[in-house]
Amino acid sequence: MTNETTYDTVVHAGLAGVVASATRISLVDGERGRLVYRGHWAKELAVNYTFEHVAHLLWFGCLPTDDQLLAMRRRMAEWRRLPQHVKTILDVLPPDVDMMSALRTAISAFAGPEFEWPPTPDQAMHLTAVVPTIIAYRFRKLQGLDPVAPREDLSHTANYLYMLRGEEPSSAHVAALDAYLILTAEHGMNASTFAGRVTISTRSDLVSAVASAIGAMKGPLHGGAPAEVDDTLSAIGTKENAEPYLRALLMRGERIMGFGHRVYKTRDPRAAALSEVARRVAGEDPWLDLATHVEDVAVRLLAEFKPGRKLYANVEFYASAVLRAVGLDRTLYTPTFTVARMAGWTAHALEQAEEDRIIRPESLYVGSMPGEMQIPSRTAS
């Protein structure tokens, strides 16, 4: 007698709609345009706090006291310097190895006893602190420039810009980039975060989890730079040209890049926060001044051409504006996204390790069964 089992299985392609984990780290509510980090509105964090404040919140579940913040900043500043073996690895990589691949390789070189399971907040701080140094070291080497050593007296964001440029950044640029890093530090169970959680769920080390996340971030469907927005703003060039350019674009039936979002059905809260920060410092930077003006014109024209659609600037619009304004090369857009997301990835790794359960989804076999395949006969030669 043969027992037959019927499987009533629904395949969720790409795991769309599948809840893989409960989390206390963040809420992404696309229907109502809400983004929450551990009980705090992300927008308010971006406007009122620094990246280090928010990293502490993600790792420890609370905003730091002044003493806690000072202690954390000191520890992270100590971990900014690259070990010699990591510099050697970066030096021998061919110039055509892209930045994300170089970053993934360099991070892997940190594996050692101090990064063994289980992951700890100190490990998270260490890896988050060193990623900007890896990027800046590699970037300046490729430009034929001497690397700039990190400074312990600068904030995480200011030091990143300093190592890239070799000079202290303006307060306006630090404020704008700080807001960008905060708003992209965490965004729920996205592809790279899921990749990191899967790896850490096997009781692998935090270095491996971060390397997995970087590998996912490298893919253009996830970490692709907002270059098309950059192209649009460059083509507009001046405030006076904004309306004629955008109106002509809409009359041709083309999209305005950086407006509308797949998840958010109302205004992207990250764009709203970056817009507020950009408007605060726009007078100090002509590119941000242009971006805020273009947003105003675009929203008005979209309401005229597409009434009822409620299309707003998304995070890519202001990400492009901010990254361009602070002087980052396009090759640094996705790596800088990674600088931000390190805080979120490592926070999720810590949470997954507490759950300590391997992530092991199932698959539905849709191939042939034995006896159903036609086996070609062999002809004697």
Q: How far is CA 121 from CA 8, 57, 75, in A?
A: 43, 11, 11
Q: Is the dihedral of CA 246, 252, 258, 261 positive or negative?
A: positive
Provide the phi-psi class of 69: left if phi over 0, else alpha when psi is between -120 and 50, else beta. Answer: alpha
The catalytic site residues sit at 261, 316
DSSP alpha helices (H): ranges in the chain?
Answer: 42-48, 51-60, 66-78, 84-92, 99-108, 121-142, 156-165, 171-183, 191-201, 206-218, 220-223, 227-236, 239-251, 269-281, 286-305, 315-325, 333-355
Contact partners, residue 291, CB within 8 Å, separation at least 6: 233, 278, 282, 317, 318, 320, 321, 325
How far apart are the C-alpha atoms of 129 and 375, rounded to whole Å?
58
